[in-house]
Amino acid sequence: MNDSVGIVTTEYAHFDAELRLESGRRLGPLTIAYECYGELNADHSNAILVCHAWTGDAHAAGRHHEDDRKPGWWDNMIGPGKVLDTDRYFVISSNVIGSCKGSTGPTSTNPTTDRPYRLNFPVIMVRDMVRAQKLLIDRLGIAKLLSVVGGSMGAMQALEWGIHYPENVYSVVPIAGCGRTSPMAISLNALARQAIFNDPLYKKGNYRPEHPPADGFALARAVGHISFLSDASMHLKFSRRFSRMDGMFDFFGKFEVERYLDYNGSSFVDRFDANSFLYLAKALDLYDVAWRFDSLEEALATLTCPSLWFSFSSDWLYTPAQAEEVVEELQRQKKPVSYHLIESDYGHDSFLVEPEKFIPFLREFLDQL
């Protein structure tokens, strides 16, 4: 069985209207990059929205051309016969606003100045991302999503959908998520920010795209990437092996894990924008599902649809305890909620590395809707 969605094309939806943000500022016109897989049925009842993590994009499945080295970021989840079965479901993946992957963000042209926004782009929150997604879903003619599924920052988006658009979603599936960002996660993002700010090429956000603050940005990515892994996964992948190209007593010699972080950081600089990285990090730091509510309890009282939660045993960025805080409150309120703690050594990245461990639960959940 061919289990790939094949060659796909990123599409772009343009909106002339301004979006009122949580900050009180307005953003518009808007562009949202998105991809669709499968076919929308006659009554438009089979649509599933997939939400990406921090530096993800709309390209969740398939390939853009035959020579693509890698498929979309959740290709093992989306396709004919897969858990997000494109023979049954119409799957939508959109890029969040604030990104540099096709949707309106700091690299976009500011209509007021006819120059890139850069740091004139407004601070956004996850709730603003979801509000922009709602424009896209309306444009596609979908009154009610069968489910919103996402990992990490995508889990935050899924929860926001359930709370703020209860009449427009049948279910939500937050994976490796939380109800509010922890001080530890915020502190790691603070280090990443300082790494970029301290790079002399950053120039208060006014760097040229061809001359980004590469050293600081690569270091910022390394800080973030460490938080996605776990001690166990680092032992599995690198152990304490010293780089084969270095001498152990060379002062500047490196362990394999150091070489890996160097490579990961430098390659990331070539495919993402530093200002976009900072804006999305700020959105993560600000995330609190109880924002504009009096309490977590009041916020979750508005969630009426079934929700399926997953956390991972070795995830120290968004820990199981953080997800369980939300799940336990939903249980206390007798809401339709299910929760699975998945044993995995791959830290926060487990939802991307070992989806086979939670796919059976997700398949069963979707079959029951």
Residues involved in catalysis: 152, 315, 348
Q: How far is CA 198 from the centre of its chain?
A: 26
71 three-state secondary structure: coil
Q: What separation in angstroms does the CA of 145 have from each of 49, 141, 170, 359?
A: 7, 11, 6, 20
Q: CA-to-CA distance for 293 and 308, rounded, in angstroms?
A: 23
**How many other CB atoms sit within 10 Å of the CB of residue 31?**
16
**How many other CB atoms sit within 10 Å of the CB of residue 360?**
11
Quick check: 48 and 61 in contact, CB under 8 A?
A: no
151 three-state secondary structure: strand
- Report which residue type is found at 368: Q
Residue 88, sorted as left (phi over 0), alpha (psi -120 to 50) or beta, turns out to be alpha
How is residue 315 written in tokens? 């995830």
Quick check: 35 and 60 in contact, CB under 8 A?
A: yes
User: Which residues lie below 8 Å from residue 18, measured CB to CB, with a gap of 6+?
Assistant: 26, 27, 28, 29
